[in-house]
Amino acid sequence: MPVIAILVIVTLVSGSSDKKSSKVTTAGACGTPVANPTRKFAAAPPQTIDPSANYTATVCTSEGNFSLFLDAKTAPVATNNFVFLARQGFYDGLTFHRVVKDFVIQGGDPAGDGSGGPGYNVPGEVPSDHYPIGVLAAAKTGADPAGSFGSQFFVVTGKNGATLPNDYARFGRVDQGLTVAKKIEGLAPATGDGKPTTPVKILAIQVRENGKVLGPNTTTSSSTSSSSTTTKPKG
Residue 66, strand partner residues: 59
Q: How far is 109 from 1, CA to CA, in rounded Å?
A: 10
Per-residue pLDDT tens for 49-88? 999 999 999 999 999 999 999 999 999 999 999 999 999 9
User: In this structure, are residues 5 and 235 in contact, taking their beta carbons and an 8 Å threshold?
Assistant: yes
Q: How far is 71 from 222, CA to CA, in rounded Å?
A: 16
The pTM is what? 0.84
Output phi, psi for 34, to 5 deg. -75, 130
Task: Report which residue type is found at 141.
Answer: T
| Fold type of domain 7-30+49-211 | Cyclophilin (2.40.100)
Q: Which residues contact 225 (CB under 8 A, 6 or more apart)?
A: 50
Strand, helix or coil for residue 116: coil
- Hey, how many other C-beta atoms are within 10 angstroms of the C-beta on 195? 18
Q: How far is 116 from 100, CA to CA, in rounded Å?
A: 19
Per-residue pLDDT tens for 112-170? 999 999 999 999 999 999 999 999 999 999 899 999 999 999 999 999 999 999 999 99
Question: Parallel, antiparallel, or unpaired for β 202-209 and 96-100?
Answer: unpaired
